[in-house]
Structure 1
Amino acid sequence: MKKTIHIIGSGFSSLAASCYLAKAGYDVVVFEKNDNIGGRARQLKVNGFTFDMGPTWYWMPDVFEKFFADFGKKPSDYYQLEKLDPAYQVYFGKEDSLTISGNLNEILELFEKEEKGSAKHLQRFLNTAKGNYDVAVKNLVYKPGISPLELITPETIVRLHHVFGNIRKQVSKSIKNKKLLKILEFPVLFLGAKPQNTPALYNFMNWADFGLGTWHPKGGMYKVVEGMVNLATDLGVEFVTNATVEEIVVNEVGEAIGIMINDKFLSADIVLSGADYHHTETLIPNVYRQYSEKYWTKKTFAPSSLLFYVGFDKKLKSVCHHTLFFDTEFDVHAVSIYDTPEWPKEPLFYASFPSITDNSFAPKGKEAATFLIPLAPGIEDTNEIREYYFNMIIERLEKLTQQSVKENIIFKESFCVNDFINDYNSYKGNAYGLANTLTQTAFLRPKIKSKKVKNLFFTGQLTVPGPGVPPALISGKIASDLIIKFNR
């Protein structure tokens, strides 16, 4: 008789795990508290506009290819990809922006134009980054985070200085232009930590950026979710929405034996949670929790976010599909995220205008936009504060791009700390999980296999390998591998 696995949550890690476990012969049911599948990667459709509510960047396409290849499939069996060129644009001030090409040779030319001699240094840096990418992404990140010995290989031994160095020191060693340095440090934002606190090994994100490029799935990131759901369904996975898990039931000998939903007990041989790790442990008795409240309060969390989904009644000028507004100092903004949690006085922000690339995102002649401000988790969140910051970034957008847009807004919806808590049970309303600092990497992250409850496992951004969509796919594979290993 097939063993039954109940998966809590339907984000990318849960979807990936469900596919691997169904393929391995388990009877898999995924329970999602919201009314649609995808976790934080939900989609909002309103008035002819479409918005990806969560991830908007498609990086590291090889990780997606590897996932689908494990089932004899290709991403193109489920969605169509377009490489963005330009990849993104960065504003540093009025009439002061750099556009990053989708072509590496053109990026090298741009660097050389901004700082003589920097192209040579960038090429050397990227050679190192590619080597780290090959070691880390094709090997290390697929380790289960059980032992520090997982990190000891002939390839990693020669890269030890990358583990104990940091991104900031590395990128500023040979390149001095402040704008170029900001661009080189930008990918670290995906890891949820300051550049000076991020191990230099993570420069592989720069290879993901410049070497592998930025892509767009036609129809948005939710097309990836739909593709994974279709694959899972074909493999026999069952999905149940509007299903809030109230308890993970643990028997008298410390075994997870099922879950409670709407006061109804549903038995299972194994429980895998892709929901927030901290929240999941509140669903079991105190005696079985691995990590105390004190443990969580001491951790460095990746930022939360203030997001705005905005529809304009005209096409915007002087912006790209992905546009970064770095006209203020990130180090100052970072203090308000990581050191003294508070609302930033002059935040950096990011904007996505997918309708520039993809007509399905907005009615003809109109523009869909998503704006994001990184924030400290756990700070006060009110409608008045949200409105204050919306007006701030719209005014800066108008000034930097030299156009009027505020009077052209025909739709606006926001999403912030309170929504991350309410919709995703997110600890302090964080958006990306635990930051990838040196002391929160690999075996130092919360464990996938519970140390106290038999047949209880975890997956997602609070465990290995960390924040981001590609790591979430990998986390789902790691969790499923461990479940199969311990339940043969």
Structure 2
Amino acid sequence: MRAVVVGGGASGLASAALLAREGYQVTLLEARAEVGGRASVWAADGFRFDIGPSWYLMPEVFEHFFALMGTSAADELDLVSLDPAYRAFFERYEPLDVHSDVEASAALFESIEPGAGDRIRGYLDSASEAYHMALRHFLYTTYASVLPLANREVLRRAPRLARLLTRSLESRIHATVRDTRLRQILGYPAVFLGASPRLTPSMYHLMSHLDLADGVLYPQGGFGQVIEALRRVAERAGVDIRTGCRVTSITTAAAHGSARPLRLARGQRARVTGVAVTGPEGPDQLDADLVVAATDLEETEQRLLPAALRTYSPRWWRRQVPGPSAVMVYLGVRGALPQLAHHSLFLAHEWDATFDLIFDRRARRPAPMPDPTSVYVSRTSATDSGAAPDGHENLVILVPVPADVELGGGGVDRAGDPWVEAVADEAIAQVADWAHVPDLAERIVVRRTVGPADWARDLRAWRGTALGPAHTLRQSAMFRAGNASRRVAGLLYAGGSVIPGIGVPMCLISAELVIKRLRGDTSTGPLPEPAPTRAVSDRTAGS
């Protein structure tokens, strides 16, 4: 049985690897010159920058994936623990170092707001319980059947789950602490989910388990090493990875024309036959029994399929809420920057103004970002000597902005569009001011920016979002786009656009959900370790 995986990001590489372990003959096609997608790497003049993801969270998800592939995170990656987990800078207060430890977090909260120490212990107990319950019942399921969710644990906690899903994260945080700094420490993980605390269900308070209790790790060499590890295990499993190959359509045929008769599921109108692709040697056709599209879902459906075979209509897409885009600023800086931790957050006192601009569809654009706004800064050279030449530092500044391609793109050495470069200048000035590095701008020796138009052009990202559809209630869990086409048998989806959602760990889980869908496995937990090597039967993929 032959499978084609479209897209060489984390979800595509992981899907290809697991399919090969299942016994498929797998070809992975990546349009760009290198694999990685949002987790690609850019290097210049001895500096190395992670283009996108930079937080290594949910380590058990990585460990589980590698175990399924017969290896381990320890064998594939050099992981170090970050202490502090991050440093938080505030517009009106002195910075705070945040450590991934329950008692350290309780002591920090108590030092700022008497009584908050005990409350944060309770909050983190709840976050830990919700996180592990999500791993057992909500993240590793395809939602092809809801019956497995009707188990004793879920039913017993149903009233509490209902409250967590119908109450906003902002409301839950405000009931826990009063100090603005503490509220922001608890609320900023919503940005990782492509949303704001006001739009995010309080179920996602589970994210605080990751940074305040569980620990923040870093893979030496950056997230590019995670991608290289995924590539290694895929190639060891026999995956044929081809770069510079752009898929131009997913090819299909009527079921009755198949040499292997196929009974279509309800609503399905065709079966997949492969993909049309343009590569270094010109146009080609790759036949396949299974196609896994690990590109953004909107790109897959709107560009690669005819209208009659799309699961989601233009009207459906108009109703979806995109996560933020981002202006990314990659800086090589002369001299040391001890004022910054490996991860640093710069949190504006009135941060709702940024969220309002990003998520209010009625907002006029282009408009200047709030001054100040909230930004994230990565200084991987604090931990990784290979990230910058001797005597230099590398900085990545992320400024959340509206998902709007009209805002423009970036470039090298100020060659980007005016709006993007202005946002970058303001962010650099803010970091310099708040971190007390007055000469930061003068010390920059390498500069590159990326804007919403770049995400759309380079990664075919829907509306230029840097993350994917936001994790609002209507776009989470069983309400998020599923991973199987309703119109085409043998066409499955993976990546941040579909269940379970945004982030590299979620992309690894989405790859596993491809396997569960093929097996007809409706269980809610991870696959057993190690994954058995199975011969693929003659049943048609995805039927």
Please confirm whether the aligned pair reaches a TM-score higher than 0.5, indicating the same fold.
yes
Instruction: Check conservation: 2:421, 2:449, Cα contact below 8 A.
Output: no
User: Does residue 403 of structure 2 align to residue 377 of structure 1?
Assistant: yes
Contact 2:102–2:121, Cα closer than 8 Å, also in 1: no
Cα deviation digits, residues 228-286 of structure 1 (max 9, x gap): 11111111011000001011111134111011112311111111100011111121111
Give the 5 Å matches for 1:398-477.
398-403=432-437, 404-477=439-512
Contact 1:94 1:399 in 2 (8 A): no
Q: Which segment is superposed worse, 373-382 or 470-479?
A: 373-382
Q: Which range moves more in the overlay, 237-246 or 386-395? A: 386-395
Q: 1:252 maps to which residue? A: 254
Residue 391 in 1 paired to residue 389 in 2?
no
Match of 1:261 among 264, 269, 277: 277
- Matches for 1:80-479 after TM superposition, within 5 Å: 80-93=78-91, 96-149=94-147, 151-157=149-155, 158=157, 159-160=160-161, 161-253=163-255, 254-262=270-278, 263-281=283-301, 282-339=303-360, 340-341=362-363, 342=365, 343=367, 344-346=369-371, 347-382=373-408, 383-403=417-437, 404-479=439-514
- CA distance in structure 2 between the partners assigned to 1:391 and 1:94 by the alignment: 21
Shift, 1:480, TM fit: 2.3
Q: Write the letter of the residue equivalent to 1:453.
A: V
Residue 142 of structure 2 aligns to a residue whose secondary structure is coil
Q: How far apart in 2 are the matches of 1:278 and 1:468? A: 18
Q: Are the aligned partners of 2:101 and 2:214 in contact in 1 as well (CA < 8 Å)? A: no
1:30-65 CA-to-partner distances (Å, cap 9, x unmatched) read: 100000011111001110000000101111111111
8 Å contact from structure 1 (residues 85, 103) kept in 2:
no
The one-letter code of the counterpart of 1:256 is: V
How far apart in 2 are the matches of 1:96 and 1:423?
Answer: 39
Q: Classify the secondary structure of the residue corresponding to 1:137.
A: helix
Please report how far the alpha carbon of residue 210 of structure 1 lies from its aligned counterpart in structure 2 after TM superposition. Answer: 1.2
Tell me the distance in 1 between the aligned counterparts of 2:476 and 2:540: 27
Instruction: Select the residue among 74, 77, 94 that pairs with 2:75.
Output: 77
Q: Write the distance in 2 (CA, Å) between the matches of 1:69 and 1:333.
A: 41
Structure 1: gaps of 5 or more residues = none
Native 8 Å contact 2:86 2:341 kept in 1: yes
Residues 102, 124 of structure 2: 8 Å contact kept = no
Distance in 2 between the 1:209 and 1:137 partners?
Answer: 17
Give the secondary-structure state (helix, strand or coil) at the position aligned to 2:454: helix
SS at match of 2:510: helix
- SS in structure 1 of the partner of residue 95 of structure 2: strand
SS state at 2:15 partner: helix
Aligned counterparts of 2:445 and 2:177: Cα–Cα separation in 1: 44
Letter of the 1:80 counterpart: D
Residue 435 of structure 1 deviates from its aligned partner by 1.1
- C-alpha displacement of 1:138: 3.2
1:62 paired to 2:60: yes
1:140-199 deviation digits (Å, cap 9, x = unpaired): 100103345454433333132212222111122131111001000111111111212211
TM-score relative to the length of structure 2? 0.87
Stretch deviating more after TM superposition (476-485 or 225-234): 476-485
Structure 2 CA distance, aligned partners of 1:452 and 1:124? 46
- Distance in 1, Cα, partners of 2:126 & 2:275: 47
Kept in 1: contact 2:424–2:449 (CA 8 A): no
C-alpha deviation, 1:329, in angstroms: 2.0
Quick one: which amino acid aligns to residue 394 of structure 2?
Answer: A
Q: Deviations over 1:51-86 (max 9, x none)?
A: 000101111111111111112311111111001001
Match of 2:51 in 1: 53
Does the aligned pair in 1 maintain the 2:90–2:347 contact within 8 Å? yes
State the one-letter code of the partner of 2:144. Answer: I
3-state SS, counterpart of residue 304 of structure 2: coil
Q: Contact between 1:146 and 1:443, CA under 8 Å: does it hold in 2?
A: no
2: distance between equivalents of 1:388 and 1:174?
A: 37
SS in 2 for 1:380: helix
Return the letter of the residue paired with 2:506. Answer: P
Q: How many residues align?
A: 486
SS at structure 2 position matched to 1:66: helix
Give the 3-state SS of the residue equivalent to 1:470 in structure 2.
Answer: helix
Whole-Å separation in 2 of the counterparts to 1:408 and 1:335: 34
Report the alpha carbon displacement of residue 441 of structure 1 after superposing the two structures with TM: 1.4
- CA distance in structure 1 between the aligned counterparts of 2:540 and 2:57, rounded to whole angstroms: 34
Using the TM superposition, give the Cα deviation of residue 424 of structure 1 relative to its aligned residue in structure 2, in angstroms: 1.0
CA distance in 2, matches of 1:112, 1:312: 37
Cα deviation, residue 326, structure 1: 0.4
SS in 1 for 2:250: strand
Letter in 2 for 1:258: G
Q: Which amino acid aligns with 1:470?
A: P
Percent identical among aligned pairs is 31
SS at 1:364 equivalent = coil
Residue 145 of structure 1 contacts residue 444 of structure 1 at CA under 8 Å; is this kept in 2? Answer: no
